[in-house]
Amino acid sequence: MTSHPGLTALLLASLAAMPVLTSPVWAQSSTPSSSRQHMGERKQHRVVIQVSENDPKIMNLALNNAENLAKFYEQSGEAAQIEIVAYGPGLNMVRSDTSPVKDRLAALVGRPQPITFTGCGNTMSAQSKQEGKDISLLPETNLVPTGIGRIVQLQEQGWTYIRP
């Protein structure tokens, strides 16, 4: 191996200029939250919550989870996208004729960190056929072809999955 005095001097100078860590690397944040907020950036959290049971307790638990998360991140100065996906028997949560939580859904839409509601088109078609009538979803609800497909799509984009 040949000696390169200029390269060695450059390497030593760059090492000398590096900051000395006084605490373990794992204990340091790459961008402290106060700096992140000062720079105008907000940490972004994305959470998808599954509702696939026709049980008002589960529906209310999902809404409680969503509200608590939204409030937590609001107070932390961080942004959150929260989407509740209803399919199968859980579609009743977002149906205009059967939702036991329709008032809560309407109240959550206008929040600073809104909660998005999504209903499954496959389930809607199946329930409509089974019941022999047209089914409609609450106006706050987005319709997707398949609820489970939507959850997979969001998870593949890095969303955190929760099932109450």
Between 6 and 153, whose confidence is greater?
Answer: 153
32, pLDDT greater than 50: no
Q: Give the ranges where the chain is alpha helix by DSSP (H).
A: 5-17, 33-38, 56-75, 102-109, 121-131, 147-156
d(CA 162, CA 164): 6
Between 157 and 110, whose confidence is greater?
Answer: 157
Task: Name the residue with tokens 């529906």.
Answer: 59
The reported pLDDT for the residue numbered 86 is: 98
* SS3 per residue for 105-118: HHHHHCCCCCEEEE
Q: What is the pLDDT of residues 36-75, one digit of tens each?
A: 444 356 678 999 999 999 999 999 999 999 999 999 998 9
Evaluate whether 49 touches 85 at the Cβ level (below 8 Å): yes
Q: How far is CA 102 from CA 68, 136, 154, in A?
A: 18, 13, 24
50 in helix, strand or coil? strand
43-162 has which CATH code? 3.40.1260.10
Half-sphere exposure for 91 (CA within 13 Å, toward CB):
25
Domain ranges of the chain: 43-162
Q: What is the pLDDT of residues 85-140, one digit of tens each?
A: 999 999 999 999 999 999 999 888 777 677 999 999 999 999 999 999 999 999 99
Q: Environment class of residue 48 by beta-carbon count within 10 Å: exposed (0-12), middle (13-18) or buried (19+)?
A: buried
DSSP code of residue 137: B
The reported pLDDT for the residue numbered 120 is: 98
The reported pLDDT for the residue numbered 41 is: 63
